[in-house]
Structure 1
């Protein structure tokens, strides 16, 4: 089972090694570590791990939170395989078929963002939707820039595409709030797709 763990830990020598050792002792195989931030004496890291058998997010959180100074901010299933480059793959597909750019973007964003679904809304109607996305969706707001919104047990990432009159929505139910590093990455990807699709 592939899981992503978001962990806040003291930013000091050996801190990351202690978390890695604890994960190994619990039977997890660490496949990738992404540093999201380092500020005010703390670091926030995403670990992608392979966990043998089934394990609940609550169980992982309880085991890891027993470590002094460690806070588990989220545990959720992921489909993103470490070592792959899904953002580059997405951009290559859009470059090859720019007319399908937004549909391709919406299909790819759940995997890129560790989310459940994505859709694009224009004039109150869903224009494109990934699997598991609702057929109808009402934007809670129409922001001029990328923002996150906490909505009904779900975290939303709202990404405006001003040139196309669209808002792209990414929804995560199991994981934590979208980190600003995730927001910036998704916003850059949307900007590049918008430029490629605009040439169609």
Structure 2
């Protein structure tokens, strides 16, 4: 099973190695590590791991919480395969068919962001929804800039597309609130797609 782990650990030599060793001892195969931030003597890293058997996120969190000095901020299933380049694939599809740029973006963002679904919203109504989006969703108002927030049942990322008069909502029920590094990456992708789509 592929899992994403968000871990806060002391930012000191050997800290990352200690977490990697503990994960290995628990049977996890580390496929990728992404450093999200380093400040105030701590680092926040995302680990993508393959765990043999049917390890649930709750079981993984319980086993990892025993590591000294380490905080587990989130454990959730992921479909993000390390070594692939889904953001480049998205941009290639948009270049090939810019008239469907925003629909393609909405369909691709859940996989790019470790999320479950996304929707494009204009004038308070959903204009396009990814496959797993709920049939009914009351979208929040468009923000002036890209942000993350806690919804009633989901963690949300709101990405305005001012040039198109819409905003994109990305959601996940499991895992932590979207980190600012995730929001910044998604906002850059949205910006590039909006420029490509404007060429039609």
Whether TM exceeds 0.5 here: the answer is: yes
Please say which of residues 168-177 and 137-146 is displaced more in the overlay.
Answer: 137-146
Query: What residue ranges of structure 2 are gaps of 5+ in the alignment?
Result: none
Q: How many corresponding residue pairs?
A: 200
User: What TM-score results when the alignment is normalised by the length of structure 2?
Assistant: 0.98
Does the 8 A contact of 1:125 with 1:137 survive in 2?
Answer: no
Which residue does 2:92 correspond to in 1?
A: 92
What are the equivalent positions in structure 2 for 1:17-166 lying under 5 Å apart?
A: 17-166=17-166
- Cα distance in 2 for partners of 1:97, 1:8 equals 41
Q: Determine if the alignment matches structure 1 residue 6 to structure 2 residue 3.
A: no
Query: What residue ranges of structure 1 are gaps of 5+ in the alignment?
Result: none
**Superimposed CA distance per residue, residues 134-172 of structure 1 (whole angstroms, 9 cap, x where no aligned partner):** 234322222111011211131010111011111100001
**Superimposed CA distance per residue, residues 90-126 of structure 1 (whole angstroms, 9 cap, x where no aligned partner):** 0111011100100100000000000010010111221
Does the 8 A contact of 1:126 with 1:135 survive in 2?
Answer: no
Which residue does 1:15 correspond to in 2?
A: 15
- Cα distance in 1 for partners of 2:136, 2:33 equals 36
Does the 8 A contact of 1:34 with 1:45 survive in 2?
Answer: yes
User: What TM-score results when the alignment is normalised by the length of structure 1?
Assistant: 0.98
Does the 8 A contact of 1:79 with 1:114 survive in 2?
Answer: yes
RMSD: 0.9
Does the 8 A contact of 2:125 with 2:139 survive in 1?
Answer: no
Which residue does 2:195 correspond to in 1?
A: 195
How far 1:63 moved relative to its partner?
Answer: 1.3
